Amino acid sequence: MWEGPARQCENLDVPAVSTTSPGYDLVLLAHVLAAVVGLVALGVAAGSALALRRVLDRGGPVPEALARYYRPGVNWAGRVLFLVPVFGVALLLMSGGQWNLSDTWVSLGLAGWALVALVAEGTLWPEERRLQSVVATVVAGAGSPEEGGTGADDPAPDGVGPVDLSVAPGRCMRVGLVGLGLGALLVAVGVLMVAKP
């Protein structure tokens, strides 16, 4: 008979570690640090997008800090978020059965984290990549409003297709709101993990 992941986790023959031991504390510290880095990355993504929207609305040059943030590449700081459940499962295994996946607070926390990760990976970070193209286009001067263009016919520097600067402010707002919402959800998951109701 299939027992489900909670029972399978309980049946693993992993020696218990005292929840007051230095090893447990180190894994707990790594778990919390990964969550904090993920939360900060979500906040920075939201704040940067909202700041970029203000720049695009007023038509001025992109500040160096925003140009540096939106340089082409992967948001690796955000991907630290994926380490949170790895360390969390390690903590469950180290607890010697004191906590397991069938505990409500663990299940709800994991579900909340999964929602954050899925939305970030499916919406936030792809939109952020598109904003990288917008910033590269604006910094390069392609399709700038001063030239009378919208950028709609200009190829994106990273090859994702034409960059339409007219939709960029809406994209910035979307990234900002999604980042803030995901950050709030991650804080709620953190409160749940600390409270262990």
Write the Ramachandran bin of 162: left for phi over 0, alpha for psi from -120 to 50, otherwise beta. Answer: beta
Q: Dump pLDDT digits (tens) for 185-195.
A: 999 999 999 99
Residue 179, pLDDT score? 96
Residue 18, pLDDT score? 67
Residue 164, pLDDT score? 74
pLDDT grade for 16, boundaries at 50, 70 and 90: low
Residue carrying structure tokens 């005292």: 18
Residue 141, pLDDT score? 79
pLDDT grade for 68, boundaries at 50, 70 and 90: very high
pLDDT at 157 over 90: no
pLDDT grade for 3, boundaries at 50, 70 and 90: low
Residue 15, pLDDT score? 56
Q: Is the C-alpha dihedral spanning 33, 176, 174, 182 positive or negative?
A: positive
30, 58, 106, 143, 152 from 84: Cα distances, Å: 8, 39, 12, 41, 40
- Once rounded to an integer, what is the mean pLDDT over residues 114-124? 95
Residue 67, pLDDT score? 93
pLDDT at 69 over 80: yes
- Once rounded to an integer, what is the mean pLDDT over residues 27-50? 96
Q: What is the separation, in whole angstroms, between the first and last Cα of the chain? A: 30
pLDDT grade for 65, boundaries at 50, 70 and 90: very high
Mention every residue, 6+ apart, whose C-beta is less than 8 A from residue 77: 37, 40, 41, 44
Residue 126 in tokens: 């792809």
Residue 140, pLDDT score? 84
Residue 96, pLDDT score? 82
pTM for the predicted model, two decimal places = 0.78
Mean pLDDT rounded to a whole number for the chain = 84
DSSP 8-state class, residue 161: S
pLDDT at 112 over 80: yes
Residue 145, pLDDT score? 46
CA 78: distance to chain centroid?
4
Percent of the chain with pLDDT over 90: 60
29, 83, 99, 125 from 88: Cα distances, Å: 11, 8, 11, 24
